[in-house]
Amino acid sequence: MAEKTIRLKRTSLYASGVSPVNMVQAVFYNEDMLIYDLEDSVPASEKDAARFLVYQMVKHHRPKDKYVGIRVNGIYSEYLEEDLQAAVRAKPDFLRIPKVEYAREVQDISNRIAAIEEKIGMETGSIDLVVNVESYMGVINAMEIAKASPRIVAMAVSAEDLTASLKAQRTKQGLEVFYARNAVLLACRAAGIDALDVVFSDINDVAGLKEDTALAKNLGFDGKTCIHPRQIDTVNTYFTPSMKEIRYALRVLEAVEEGKRQKKGAVVLDGGMIDKPMELRALTTLAQAEAAGLHVRGEEKLS
């Protein structure tokens, strides 16, 4: 199987489908994933208008440098069928599916998308899925959900709805969602998909955002949903490999290659053994850096 091109998912930003100004402005920020929203940000009286606006935006004014998606209404919503009909025809990169609790729900959505793709002459499977886990039941079933469809490229945790379902209090420290974050992360790793972390809700607390994003990166997440454009550059910085990390990755791979040339069974760097996971981590670091537009080959490009 050919290696898939890495699509960065460091930052996700929603643009309300009921606000043309919001949708136009969102194009000019630095988020990797731009999601036009038909769900929470759109009142019931505006669902039809939002659906039309989002279709026109994605179909005819789609930004070329972003991973573009549409968040549809909930799986059991009266609006879902019309959302899917319009969204698939707009041909976004992905659909973001809210409030998923069971694998069968994702499978049903995937089948419905496939029927529309076939009807309009699209290749079946063209549209990816990003799944939101927003309840304790979704966390319990995260492993099955993550593997429910080959369309799924990422799974995200939504802390606000999750804490409500747990009858927990949402805090900046986030201990109440720590288990859920790890459960979703493990499910994503088992399924070979990306893991997207919770939002940090206080847009004025830059120090808190940095601390929370550093934790997410250290846990192993691939990105984070941003609640406001001013968070994007900070989050991107944390999920982009630093020059120090890039240089170390290059040294790891150099040491591995030297070991192969010398037919060594064990490779040592800086007094420590290099094993296969370290080599894979180095390759991932360089792939992420290159996807972010950094030149990583050659010391002269790192200076």
What pLDDT was estimated at residue 258? 83
Q: Tell whether 6 is covered by a domain.
A: no
* Residue 125, domain CATH: 3.20.20.60
Tokens linked to 224: 């984070």
Looking at the structure, tell me whether residues 257 and 177 fall in a common domain.
Answer: no
Residue range 57-67, pLDDT digits in tens = 999 999 989 99
Task: Answer yes or no: is 226 within a domain.
Answer: yes
pLDDT at 3: 44
pLDDT at 300 over 80: no
43 plus 70 within the same structural domain: yes
pLDDT, position 59? 95
Q: Do residue 212 and residue 284 come from a single domain? A: no
- How distant is the alpha carbon of residue 223 from its chain centre? 6
Tell me what percent of the residues of the chain surpass a pLDDT of 70: 96
- Choosing from 201, 218, 238, the residue where a domain stops is 238
Pair 121, 267 in one domain:
no
* 167 has pLDDT over 60: yes
In this structure, the answer to whether residues 232 and 255 fall within a common structural domain is no
For 34-41, what is the mean pLDDT?
A: 97
Residue span of the structural domain in which 250 resides: 243-302
State yes or no: pLDDT of 173 exceeds 70.
yes
User: Does one domain contain both 25 and 173?
Assistant: yes
Does 283 or 191 have the greater pLDDT score? 191
The answer to whether residues 249 and 267 belong to one domain is yes
User: Is 4 part of any domain?
Assistant: no
Same domain, 167 and 292: no
- Of the candidates 61, 56, 85, 65, the one whose C-alpha atom is nearest the C-alpha of residue 73 is 85
**Residues forming a β-bridge with 36:** 15, 70
Same domain, 286 and 167: no
Choosing from 190, 211, 238, the residue where a domain stops is 238
**Tens digit of pLDDT for each residue in 251-297?**
988 888 888 888 787 788 888 888 887 888 888 888 888 888 887 76
Cβ(45)–Cβ(256) below 8 Å = no
Cα distance between residue 92 and residue 126, in whole Å: 9
Residue 93 lies inside a defined structural domain of this protein: yes
- Tell me the pLDDT band of 1, cut-offs 50, 70 and 90: very low
pLDDT at 231: 98
**Confidence class for position 2, pLDDT limits 50, 70, 90:** very low
Average pLDDT of the segment spanning 188-196:
96
User: What pLDDT is attached to residue 5?
Assistant: 61
Tokens 């899917």 belong to residue: 84
Is residue 2 situated within a structural domain?
no
Domain boundary among 200, 223, 238: 238
| 200 domain residue, yes or no | yes
Specify whether 41 is located in the same domain as 167: yes
Residue 1 lies in a domain: no
Residue 12 has what DSSP assignment?
A: E
In a domain? residue 3:
no
The alpha helices in 15-149, defined as continuous H runs, are 20-26, 47-60, 80-90, 103-120, 136-140, 142-146
Distance CA(161)–CA(219), nearest Å, equals 22
pLDDT value for 297: 66
Q: 183 and 291, same structural domain? A: no
> Which pLDDT value is given to residue 158?
93
pLDDT at 93: 97
Number of domains comprising the chain: 2
- Based on the domain organization, do 20 and 105 belong to the same domain? yes
